[in-house]
């Protein structure tokens, strides 16, 4: 089945969609955990919900489809358009904001905490925290809601992390930073005085002090984002930025909602990003 990953730019520029980590677990591994021993073929870009799979296996149909009619998984050699069952929650990851949706679904469904790092006594955790080995939660940190943080990270001091947020390995979230409902990949630094909301940050990103992502339109309508020369409705009332791997922002950078920064792009101090920034290095 042909797969078009260009609509997921810039996140698909440096890795396959099936390799993209959601809550620090590659999409393909999420699929394997859900499918288990079920004898089905899964679309490589599908986010599969456990309940949808269970319902599908009870129906006797051969193909599970998403709301757009795209095959998510099927029994047999190929999907059968004459024997479909609609999914309620599962979907194909087509666009960058779909990664954020999958991250939200996974983290919001966590049922227990798993803390293997160090949490300072003055830090406050209200929700379920998954914390990797070697990670330190420093004084004054407030974590609200379910949050996943990888290994060997430095979180704080005095930062606020909320929503269904995941943070990769080797990250630094620092002084007076607020992170809300984000998916952040490994080795990324949001060091101080920044607000990042409803956004996806790639690997090896470094945000200068005071970098701010806007995530709400003044009219309260859904955000739209440019894909292939056309504006696409994200279906999201709150949506920040999509920042590719190894992006650096100058201090006090402000980014309009729904804007995307290609891998290895950068901004100047006090720059206002009103349009997508294309990658400065090709053949990544």
Res. 1 pLDDT band, cuts 50 70 90: very low
Q: What is the DSSP letter of 167?
A: E
pLDDT at 280: 58
3-state DSSP assignment of residue 30: helix
Q: What would the pLDDT profile of 61-105 be if each residue is shown by its tens digit?
A: 999 999 999 999 999 899 999 999 999 999 999 999 999 999 999
Residues of the chain with pLDDT > 70, as a percent, come to 96
Res. 164 pLDDT band, cuts 50 70 90: very high
3-state DSSP assignment of residue 148: strand
Please provide residue 53's backbone torsions phi and psi, each rounded to the nearest 5 degrees.
Answer: -65, -45
* Cα angle: 233, vertex 228, 241; to 5 degrees: 55
Please provide residue 55's backbone torsions phi and psi, each rounded to the nearest 5 degrees.
Answer: -65, -45
Active site residues: 192
Exposure string over 64-98, b if 16+ CB within 10 A, otherwise e: bbbeeebbbbbbeeebeeeebbebeebbbbbbbbb
Please provide residue 132's backbone torsions phi and psi, each rounded to the nearest 5 degrees.
Answer: -80, 160
Res. 26 pLDDT band, cuts 50 70 90: very high
Could you tell me the residue ranges of all domains in the chain?
17-94, 114-273
* CA-to-CA separations, 112 to 47, 50, 52, 129, 185, in angstroms, rounded: 22, 18, 22, 8, 22
The region that residue 181 occupies, defined by phi over 0 for left and psi between -120 and 50 for alpha, beta otherwise, is: left
Residues 6+ apart with CB under 8 A from 209: 191, 192, 193, 194, 251, 252
Average of per-residue pLDDT across 175-202: 97
Could you please state the CATH topology (level 3) that the domain comprising 114-273 is classified under. Answer: UDP N-Acetylglucosamine Acyltransferase; domain 1 (2.160.10)
pTM as predicted: 0.95
Res. 279 pLDDT band, cuts 50 70 90: confident
Q: What would the pLDDT profile of 211-235 be if each residue is shown by its tens digit?
A: 999 999 999 999 999 998 999 999 9
């Amino acid at each position: 089945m042909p797969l078009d990953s260009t609509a997921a730019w810039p996140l698909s520029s440096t890795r396959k969609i099936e390799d993209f980590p959601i809550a620090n677990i590659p999409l393909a591994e999420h699929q394997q955990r859900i499918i288990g021993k079920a004898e089905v073929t899964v679309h490589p870009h599908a986010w599969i919900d456990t309940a949808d799979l269970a319902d599908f296996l009870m129906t006797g149909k051969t193909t599970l489809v998403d709301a757009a009619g795209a095959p998510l998984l099927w029994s047999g050699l190929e999907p059968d358009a004459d024997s479909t069952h609609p999914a309620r929650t599962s979907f194909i990851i087509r666009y960058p904001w779909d990664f954020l949706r999958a991250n939200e679904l996974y983290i919001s469904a966590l049922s227990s905490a798993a803390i293997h790092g160090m949490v300072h006594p003055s830090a406050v955790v209200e929700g379920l925290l998954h914390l990797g080995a070697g990670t330190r939660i420093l004084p004054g940190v407030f974590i609200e809601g379910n949050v996943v943080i990888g290994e060997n990270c430095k979180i704080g001091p005095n930062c606020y992390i909320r929503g269904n947020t995941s943070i990769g390995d080797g990250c630094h979230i620092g002084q007076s930073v607020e992170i809300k409902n984000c998916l952040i990949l490994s080795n990324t630094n949001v060091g101080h005085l920044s607000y990042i909301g409803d956004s996806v940050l790639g690997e090896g990103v470094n945000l200068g002090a005071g970098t701010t992502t806007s995530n709400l339109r003044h009219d309260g309508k859904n955000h739209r984002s440019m894909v292939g020369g056309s504006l696409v409705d994200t279906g999201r009332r709150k949506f920040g930025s999509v920042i590719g791997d190894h992006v650096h922002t100058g201090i006090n950078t402000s980014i309009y909602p729904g804007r995307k920064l290609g891998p290895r792009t950068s901004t100047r101090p006090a720059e206002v990003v009103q349009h997508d920034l294309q990658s400065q290095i090709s053949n990544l």
